[in-house]
Amino acid sequence: MTDLTKKDVKHLMLFAGRSHPQLAAQIASLLGTELVPSRMVTYANSEVYVRFEESVRGCDAFVLQSHCAPVNDYLMEQLIMIDALKRASARHITVIAPFYPYARQDKKHAGREPISARLVADLYQAAGATRIMTVDLHAAQIQGFFDGPVDHLYGMPLLADYVKEKYDLSNFVVVSPDAGRVRTADLYSDRLGCPLAIIHKRRDPNVANTVTVHEVVGDVEGKTCLLVDDLIDTAGTICLAAEALKVKGAGRVIAAVTHPVLSGPAADRLNRSAFDEVIVTNTLPLPPEVNIDKLTVLSIAPLLAKAIRAVFEDGSVAALMSKQ
């Protein structure tokens, strides 16, 4: 990928919040540009101040923030960055949120609940964003919450191609951890040319809010199973799924997951789990206390850099995804 011309650098400007400096640096390097110098301060009362140290008038601004914990702090920081760009006359402002905040709150499950994913889209728009770029939304309908272009990118090709290069696929089966991820698992199955299995979770009526029974639909005995999902949070569900596969006679169990949230007991659970390897991307930075021997992290930076370039050059992001 060639460096941007001086004319392009003047108009394409890359900004990053403080959540994931490593990813920001990788993207800037791949684009052949530099992150715009910024002054960011968190005051004693936790309010955030942002000032960009270069003129942004007339630029195409791309504002990167990975929404790891504390999510609310990093979301507010990104909103303030967007507002500063709008007030400084940036021409277009693209939000880059590799892990969309509040994506799991995409609908009402009961009365008097919020739809927080819609609220986040409204906040981005009110701040001045004209476009959103994200990776593997928890629910695809979130794209409709924003009144403007949404570039929904997928981590599946990156993860699947790593699996294809490392493992013998002759005795492989792709496994969906629940009914909600069947479409995702089907895409992996098509790309890898492997059969598909599904884990059906049933709740014990005598134990509230606890999944106690996992039924495996499909042949997994003696096979290498690839469990696929969009995120790992506390790792309870996916570790139980791996155990269910082992009980059904699976030879090896691998996980391929886009977003490594890895909250609370996740590291301990994964280290004690039945997994042989857990493959994730770096849409989120790993918490400093997380140490998982089985973890492999792949960089999402090349995909984001290509998508940024496609948007900036008025190219097709859909065509980019079809080539993966």
Q: Which amino acid is at 264?
A: G
Cα separation of 172 and 19, whole Å? 37
What is the Cα 315 distance to its own chain's centre? 23
Q: Which helix (H) or strand (E) holds 30?
A: helix 21-31
Residue 35 DSSP one-character state: B
Antiparallel, parallel or unpaired: β 131-135 and 92-97: parallel
**Hey, what are 299's tokens?**
């960089």
The residue annotated as part of the active site, out of 86, 164, 201, 294, is: 201
Q: Are 27 and 311 in contact (CB under 8 A)?
A: no
Antiparallel, parallel or unpaired: β 252-260 and 224-232: parallel
201 is catalytic: yes
Cα separation of 145 and 143, whole Å? 6
Active-site residue numbers?
Answer: 201
